Amino acid sequence: MKKFLAVRIVNILVTLFVIATVTFFLMKLLPGSPFDEEKLAGLSDEDRMEFYARYGLDQPVAVQYAKYMGNLVKGDLGISYYYKGQQVESLISSRIGPSALLGAQAALLGVSIGLILGMIAAFRHNTMWDFFTMFIAVIGVAIPNFVFAALLQYYVGLKWGILPVAFWESYDSSILPTIALSMMVIALIARFMRNEMLEVLQQDYILTAKSKGLSQMNVIIRHTLRNSMIPIITILGPITVSLLTGSLVIENIFGVPGIGSLFVDSIKVNDYTTIMGLTLFYSAFYILTILVVDLLYGIVDPRIRLTGSKG
């Protein structure tokens, strides 16, 4: 176990190093500049050099790279090119709240509805219920989340005027984006849960439990549910991805001041340091999720030993 963890952590650090390096040089290769070229051209040579020096752009690329990596270790992501004088890490931390709230709500909503739908479909296998649930699952996977968000905004927000469409003012503003974000999660979980339950229901131990005379409820809760929920952990990775990438468009559509809209805005204004910082942040978050999933899986399912026999 310890060895497994050590190997994984080294792997993660290598991966993050590669990602940081690649994004750094990608940003250096990018055409265009975040600054107003015309204004810069109007400055005297001295002023221009001073301006570049402020962002550390007067030095050779190799030095910039070494500096960036050195600061990175200290948790310093550099100064934003667009938001004057702001550190990227403080930009991220000031805008992470709404994103975290949306993500958590969407995950909670998606997982609970998905589980319920999946259970219904499995227990009513090959009935209208099953058909209906799987229809929702297919739709959830198939409709692009921004299309769904746009339709929600049009009907619920504009036509019927039930909920606010944009602006982050009260708790109500988080409802529509949460629903839009959770759709994919619902679909993924419902489909997975259904298949798992159908498999578990065919196992001998369910038959044993039934023939022991356990009530239907007991069989469901103590044997079926518990065993079918274990593999759900494995799709936490894809779910995290769908929430992360979903937030990019959905925060933009509903005007949520989160890191998703920060990322898209930075792309539009060529704010390279912020783009790099967020890329690293997203990657780190994703990699850590996968690590947690692997660890959890080993704990929850005793049949799986991560490295050989000694756990």
Q: How far is the CB of 165 from another protein (least distance, A)?
A: 10
The smaller minimum CB distance to another protein, of residues 13 and 221, is found at: 13
- Nearer Cβ to another protein, position 31 or 308? 31
Which lies closer to another protein via its Cβ, residue 209 or residue 259?
259
Q: How far is the CB of 228 from another protein (least distance, A)?
A: 20
Minimum CB–partner distance for residue 246 and another protein (Å) = 10
The residues binding another protein (CB under 8 A) are 11-12, 14-16, 18-19, 23, 26, 29-31, 138-139, 141-144, 146-147, 150-151, 153-154, 158, 241, 244-245, 248-249, 252-253, 264, 267-268, 275, 279, 282-283, 286-287, 290
In 3D space, the residue among 153, 155, 104, 160 whose CA is nearest the CA of residue 253 turns out to be 153
Residues 6+ apart with CB under 8 A from 264: 248, 249, 251, 252
Output the smallest distance, CB 221 to another protein, in A: 30
* Between 9 and 49, CB nearer to another protein: 9
- Alpha-helical (H) ranges within the chain are 2-29, 37-42, 45-54, 61-73, 88-123, 128-142, 145-152, 175-201, 204-211, 216-218, 226-229, 236-253, 259-268, 272-300
CB nearer to another protein: pick between 72 and 209: 72
Q: Which one, of 192, 304, 199, lies nearest residue 237 by Cα?
A: 192
In the complex, the smallest distance separating the C-beta of residue 103 from another protein, rounded to whole angstroms, is 14
- Residue 147: CB partners within 8 Å, gap ≥ 6? none
Euclidean distance between the first and the last CA atom of the chain, given in angstroms as a whole number: 5
